[in-house]
Structure 1
Amino acid sequence: MGNTKKQNFIQGASILMVSMIIVKVVGAVFKIPLTNVLDATGMAYFNSSYQLFTTIYALTVTGLASAVARMVAACSTKGRYRDCRKILRTVQIIFISLGLFGALLMLVFSRGFSSLIEMENARYAIMAMAPTIIFSCMMASYRGYYEGLRNMTPTAVSQVVEVICKLIVGLLFAYAVIAYAKGQFHDTGMVFGTKVLTESDAVSIALPFAAAGAMLGISFSTLAGFLYMLIHYRRSGDGITKEELRNSPPPVRTKAIVFTLIKTALPITLSSVALTLTNLIDVMTVSNRLQSTYLANQSFFDNLYGQYLGAGQEMHTFLYGTYTTALTYFSLVSAFTSLFGKSALPNITSAWVDRDRKSLKTNMESILRMTALIAFPAGIGISVLSRQIIMLFHGSKPGLVAATPDSLRLLGIAAIFLAFTTPIYAILQGVGRFDLPLKFIMIGAFIKITTNFIMVGIPQLNVTGAAIGSFLCYFTIVVLCLVWLTRITGVHLSYFKILGKPLIGALACGGTAYLVSQISDSKLITIASIAAAGAVYVVIILLIRAVPKSDILMMPKGAKIAALMEKLHLL
């Protein structure tokens, strides 16, 4: 096995960023047509079941995977490579057991959960999602191991393999179910045992099964991702040389590894569970609150949205589906910035263990600055172009166009704060304060649930009230994290350089997007407004020198890029 050069924070993040761009482009090719196939009601089934999956995933995988990365990073820093290998062998047994347990949980609670959120038909999608837990757990052991060794490439490639498989199989299954339902209707006038009068009603009856088909595609995609990681490890190894193993101290006992793993993973797991439980509770409170609000104001809602409902569809499910469509774009920003958390954890851990205050400050500032450079323009852009985005991708679905933009406008701003959470959690975990994310998430969750109950209950706001709750939740969490992070590390951050300059560029970006979008509602103008806003943002960022030379040098081919930028007087 040849030695693999360890990646610094920005190199690792760059590799993950490239993969994430591919993942999100391919994911959009999956999610956008899937939304147009399933419409708001079908996406409600799809997304509500996915929230249950993420909760169980957080309970079984997230904390342990992060703990593995941190433990391996600490052992690698100290030259304890035998411990690294033993950690991998130990956690694989644990992860397989947890995967089977998580899959069983999804199967057992599929009916109860769907009844709890008043979406009985969501149970089919939940059951189809159960195998995903097993394969995700098995894949996560390898991902955490490689990330701890500061090698982000296997994780990046496995993500691409996963999303391509999801695109092909998930869409194929969803389309196949709808095509089968249409064919059954034309042949017999029946769809899955129910007599229907029109093809549109046939599609409505088939939506729960089409959502389950898409979920089954995700299960296949995680199997593909795991198989890639397994083959990669057996063929290419982990980069630890025979000499490094020879010079490494004897590994600690298995019991010690398990104890450290639990001690490290428990607070991370609780934080992850608390965050996903917040989202799960969000599903339940928003859906149930919409139902009660609708029952008290039926004529109001029927006048607004009644024309968009098909056979067997309910108003609260339709509205929740429009909200989850907005959440797709809301979560897009954090999907990119969460990569900084993955890449930052081993680097922050190493700097903290070595008591290298200068390296700690450099990494902290780079993490926050890179997050801001992405989060500010993306969040403001989504907010400014909320109506145009929905019309661009879902213009054929009038119900989505009518009910989604208001929620998305507020969620665009909330996405900025959500984008900071994972990177900041990683910094706190890297300096050993695993408890703080959990505490702050619980505070945010209380604010979110309270706001949901009050705001969603106002008919004129309905699902937009949930967007207000998301903004208040994540804004509070980020502020608390930054205050405590400064206290713990003693590192004083230059917030204007880190946040102020990206914000200036983002405001110019948002202003450009707004002005160009006012020309017309055509899709071509929407694309032009996005392109123009992006160009203006890049120019402003370069002119005000928002990215320091130290960040450029840490990038792949950074020295050459820095030399070119210096010639152009941009550094």
Structure 2
Amino acid sequence: MSETKKQNYLKGAAILAATGILTKIITAVYKIPVLNLLGDTGAGHFQIALNLYTLLLTISTAGIPVALSRLVSAASSTGRDRLVKRYFSVALPFFALLGLVLTLIMLIFADPLASFMGDVQGGLGIQVLAPAVFFSCVISIYRGYFQGHNNMIPTAVSQLMEALSKFIIGLLIVWLLIQAGYDSSVATAGSYVGSTIGLGLCIPVLIFLKFRFDKRSAHHRLPVHDRETAGRGAVLLQIFKVSIPITLGSSILNIMTFADTKIVMSRLQDGAHFTYEQALALYGVYTKGLSVFNFPSSLIVPVAVSIVPVIAAAIATGRHREAKGIMESSLKLTNLIAMPAGVGMAILSVPIFKVLYWNSNPIGPALLATFGIASYFMCAQLVTIGILQATGHEKIPLVTCTVGGLFQIALDAYLTGQPDINIMGSPFGTLICYGAITILNLMFINFKVSERPELSKVFVKPALCTAVMGVAAWAVYELLFKAGAETLGDGRLALAVYLFGAIAAAVLVYGILVIATKTVTRDDMRLIPRGERIANFLKIK
């Protein structure tokens, strides 16, 4: 891998990773008080409407940034600037129209859609989210264009704008509605206003950033080789050829989640014999666990997004060894982040859940423990899908995600209908779903991808370091809890103190281990900005 390409790849990943961390912190600061204000029942309303929104959003936008970034990267790296412009000019109006159609469907059929998903009071929330689909379709075209040029800053800016708007406006509206005496379904709809407004504000900002980017980069482009470009129909067909398999692969899990929501709500009532209100409250507890489960993946999504155009460009120009190096570094980075996060979440599930959601149903920590292990596989499948997409095997995730999704639906349909298991069956289905996808993706990478990554190099040492870290986290928490029980007690604040101590100890132990065992090497550190200085400070050889 050339030094410049390494720096560009990791700089892009670092920008999105930093943004991902910040936006997830903002979202967590927003979600925790919002879900506490809404209660378990309101949390159920909150997630059910989001599942529909996420499905439609994925169908309309999932494949476009990836496809556009891949096509733009390949064309730009070989000096075909006219083709780059054509990709953008064709994609923007078509997918804006698609977003408008989906927005109208959500506005007109909000109540029937909510009832179909098992939440008869969720129609208003769906209508509030409807314009966000149109805005997201437009935004996805700009993000794909910028990512194809390995410029992740506009994506980061738009993500931050949405997160801040959701936090400031959404939280304020929820609080005002609760204070005014509105029920949880109305307050939940109010929580979506911030996201919709934030996405709408992103569009003029991205238009300005593209204008400035094009103007500045005009002097640094390669000579134009494509004096004749394909027609609009041919370009749109080329975009579809790449994006449709990616969209289908990404949509499968959301389609399964959409179906799974209805199945879980139905089975909790018909099989486990809970009332509608009880089933909705249990689904709300599940939603609270899901909010923690999704956090580690926010650190991995930037890696999955960044590797696609870079690997595609390396393969397009015959730099296969460079592509292999990027695959290995992305898998290793994923394991170094996701493994300790998942294990820590599982081991410390009781204090984490009680500190965040003190007055919730006591089944919450058990849900979170299962989610913790599932979170690793959630992260791993994101990067393995990115590798398959970047290497031209974008149809494979369609198969693997379908298999994983079918596992989840089958398990959830059976387990959640058992009175003694009920909602606990759903996170277990999630674990099996993402575990199956990850294993199948790795198998296909091993058999299908030339210059495939050496998996033992990126899995063994992170797993060993994580195991020791997990033991340290458990031991320190138990020690602090026993030592402080008589003085601090076991209230929310006391648990937060014990939890902070355990996390601090785990981070310290893990940091020492990855350096002492050379899990992180000086060569790895050279791939990040100022890595040599950090390596010198930590005395990494």
TM-score by structure 2 length?
A: 0.93
Match of 1:198 in 2: none
Residues 322 and 252 of structure 1: is their aligned pair in 2 closer, same or farther, counting only changes over 3 Å?
same
Task: Give the structure 1 partner of residue 404 of structure 2.
Answer: 444
Displacement after TM superposition at 1:120 (Å): 0.8
Does the residue aligned with 2:519 lie in a helix, a strand or coil?
coil
Q: Offset of 1:171 from its aligned partner?
A: 0.4
Preserved contact between residue 165 and residue 224 of structure 1 (Cα < 8 Å): no
Aligned to 1:37: 37
CA shift digits 1:170-192 (9 cap, x unpaired) = 101111111111xxxxxxxxxxx
- CA distances 1:417-476 after superposition (whole Å, capped 9, x unpaired): 011111111110111111100001111111111111111122222111111111111111
1:286 Cα shift? 1.3
Alignment equivalent of 1:232, drawn from 181, 194, 209 = 209
Conserved in 1, the CA contact under 8 Å of 2:268 and 2:423? yes
Counting only pairs closer than 5 Å after superposition, residues 25-424 of structure 1 correspond to structure 2 as 25-181=25-181, 206-237=183-214, 239-242=216-219, 244=221, 247-250=224-227, 251-295=229-273, 314-395=277-358, 397=359, 399-400=360-361, 402-424=362-384
When structure 1 is superposed on structure 2, of 104-113 and 66-75 the one drifting more is 104-113
How far, CA to CA, are the matches of 2:316 and 2:522 in structure 1?
26
1:118 alignment partner AA:
G
Alignment match, 2:509: 536
What is the distance in 1 between the residues matched to 2:33 and 2:509?
30
Tell me, which stretches of 5 or more residues in structure 1 are unaligned?
A: 182-204, 299-312
What's the CA shift for 1:68? 0.7
Question: Partners in 2 of 1:474 and 1:238 — Cα distance?
Answer: 43
* Letter of the 2:498 counterpart: I
Q: 2:346 is aligned with what amino acid?
A: S
Residue 391 (structure 2) pairs with residue 431 (structure 1): yes
Residue 185 of structure 1 corresponds to which residue in structure 2? none
Q: In 1, are the aligned partners of 2:17 and 2:298 still within 8 Å (CA)? A: no
2:158–2:199 CA contact under 8 A, matched in 1: no
Distance in 2 between the 1:290 and 1:90 partners? 47
Deviations 1:253-311 (A, max 9, x none): 2222111001111101111111211211221111111111342x78xxxxxxxxxxxxx
| Partner Cα distance (1:384, 1:238) in 2 | 52
Task: Tell me the distance in 2 between the aligned counterparts of 1:351 and 1:275.
Answer: 29
Question: Is the contact between residue 16 and residue 152 of structure 2 (CA under 8 Å) also seen in structure 1?
Answer: yes
- 1:10–1:551 Cα contact (<8 Å) kept: no
Matched position secondary structure for 1:237 = helix
Question: Does residue 1:561 correspond to 2:525, yes or no?
Answer: no
Q: 1:328 corresponds to which letter in structure 2? A: S
Task: Kindly indicate whether the alpha-carbon contact (under 8 Å) linking 2:21 and 2:298 is maintained by their aligned counterparts in 1.
Answer: no
Shift of 1:238: 6.8
- Per the normalisation by structure 1, the TM-score is 0.88
Q: Percent identity?
A: 30
The one-letter code sitting in structure 2 at the alignment partner of 1:161 is M
- 1:480 aligned partner, one-letter code: L
Q: Superposition RMSD on alpha carbons, in Å?
A: 1.9
Shift in CA distance, 87/7, structure 1 to aligned 2, threshold 3 Å = farther
Tell me the residue number matched to 1:496.
Answer: 456
Determine the C-alpha separation between the residues in 1 that align with 2:220 and 2:369.
56
The code of the aligned residue for 2:463 comes to L
Tell me by how many angstroms 1:243 deviates: 5.8
Measured in 1, the distance between the counterparts of 2:226 and 2:506 equals 55
Matched letter for residue 561 of structure 1? I
1:559 to partner: Cα distance: 3.6
Asked whether the equivalents of residues 59 and 251 of structure 2 are also in contact (C-alpha less than 8 Å), the reply is: yes
Aligned length, in residue pairs: 524
Give the whole-Å Cα distance in 2 for the aligned partners of 1:388 and 1:362. 39
Q: Quick check: 2:515–2:521 contact (8 Å CA) kept in 1?
A: no
The aligned residue for residue 485 of structure 2 is: none
